[in-house]
Amino acid sequence: MRQACRALAGARGARKRAEACFLFAGALSPGEELFPRRVLFALKGEKIIETNPDQRKLTTSYTQRAVSFIETNKERPFFLYVAHAMPHVPLFVSERHRGSSKGGLYGDVVQEIDWSVGQILETLAKHGLEKKTLVIFTSDNGPWLSYGDHAGSSGGLREGKGTCWEGGVRVPFVARWPGMIPAGTICREPAMTIDILPTLAKYAGAKLPTLPIDGRDIEPLLRGEKGAKSPQEAYFFWWGRELHAVRSGKWKLHFPHEYRSLKAAGADGKPGPYMVKKTPLALYDLETDPKEQTDRAAAEPEVVKRIEVLAEKARQELGDSLRKIEGRGVRAAGKSS
């Protein structure tokens, strides 16, 4: 699991100004850290500024660059994307935060990320940017369970990273914008990270590209509007080219597929083994059963039928190798034009 902190500043004012500044702070491919024979490098723009950097200093380095970026661009709209390499394995923490938690190395890493977020928020406050800035804190997937005490927790949800069960795809999403997002608001409507792009584009007054965009504006959900519903009829979960599951409202339908399940957890940064399991067609009510334990497919045939129709439409567009469907909207592998 990696944590990402996004900040969009001057959103309302951005409509009146053409210029804006953008910064990405993070690893382009965090997985490179897992392969010691490969060279890990740090980039500034397109320039390599360091090879094999000390990974204990990564979180601090990203944070310092983020703070500096805000300081430099505090008078104009900006977009800041901080994609921390931690707590993705392998885990590293600075000396300042080593031993700062009761959760071992993983806990120390999380403590340092908490410090990082605090530094960014303090910088926004220092320059009076809090009410002008939307801050989003989220992650890309659930815990990599095979790494045991270096993996984090799914909170009791089924399975983890590398699967389409809730433990693999349900992640925290925290949004902060004083004066725009009511404090303490809890939204139980489903949304995906694909919805961030159109939402930020709306706030910034930017035009979306003339390409198919799967995301939808979720501003009503962020603002806590009474009765606001997810703008998506359904969310689709592919594993590679295989459509494994579809969520529509509170219902989630899994199609028959194989998935990996933890056989034995590893320890001290060494992964444990997985085994392969299979699921039949299965329907779950995520409002009452977020751990996906009770199959309701037989009891709710109309729900199954409705979601099957949505799935088939998606298959025709994006394909599904489980059904040997190519998909008319699938392009050849390679760089898009």
Report residue 124: phi and psi, to 5°. Answer: -60, -45
d(CA 333, CA 318): 13
d(CA 208, CA 93): 38
Residue 48 DSSP code: E
Residue 146 DSSP code: G
Q: What pLDDT does residue 42 have?
A: 73
What is the pLDDT averaged over residues 33-61? 76
List, for residues 161-171, the tens digit of each pLDDT value: 999 999 999 99
What is the pLDDT averaged over residues 246-264? 98
Give the residue among 267, 63, 39, 234 at the shortest CA–CA distance from 150.
267
Q: What pLDDT does residue 10 have?
A: 60
Report residue 252: phi and psi, to 5°. Answer: -135, 125
Joined together, the tokens standing for residue 7 give 């900040």
Reduced to 3 states (helix: H, G, I; strand: E, B; else coil), residue 182 is coil
What is the pLDDT averaged over residues 282-287? 99
In the chain, alpha helices (H): 58-72, 104-126, 166-169, 196-204, 219-222, 301-318
d(CA 143, CA 171): 10
d(CA 117, CA 137): 9
Tell me which CATH code domain 235-318 carries. Answer: 3.30.1120.10
Q: Tell me the pLDDT band of 14, cut-offs 50, 70 and 90.
A: very low
> Does the N-terminal peptide bond of residue 87 adopt cis geometry, omega within 30 degrees of 0?
yes
Give the residue among 33, 28, 84 at the shortest CA–CA distance from 60.
84
Q: What pLDDT does residue 208 have?
A: 93
d(CA 279, CA 256): 5
Give the residue among 191, 284, 275, 181 at the shortest CA–CA distance from 233.
191
Which regions of the chain carry the CATH code 3.30.1120.10? 235-318
What is the pLDDT averaged over residues 197-209? 94
Q: What pLDDT does residue 34 have?
A: 55
Least confident of 60-64, 210-214, 232-236, 302-306: 210-214
Q: Give yes or no for residue 18 having a pLDDT over 60.
A: no
Q: Give yes or no for residue 11 having a pLDDT over 60.
A: no
What is the pLDDT averaged over residues 81-93? 95
Question: At the topology level of CATH, where does 3-222 sit?
Answer: Alkaline Phosphatase, subunit A (3.40.720)
Which regions of the chain carry the CATH code 3.40.720.10? 3-222
Q: What pLDDT does residue 21 have?
A: 67
List, for residues 103-161, the tens digit of each pLDDT value: 999 999 999 999 999 999 999 999 999 999 999 999 999 999 999 999 999 999 999 99
Q: Give yes or no for residue 63 having a pLDDT over 60.
A: yes
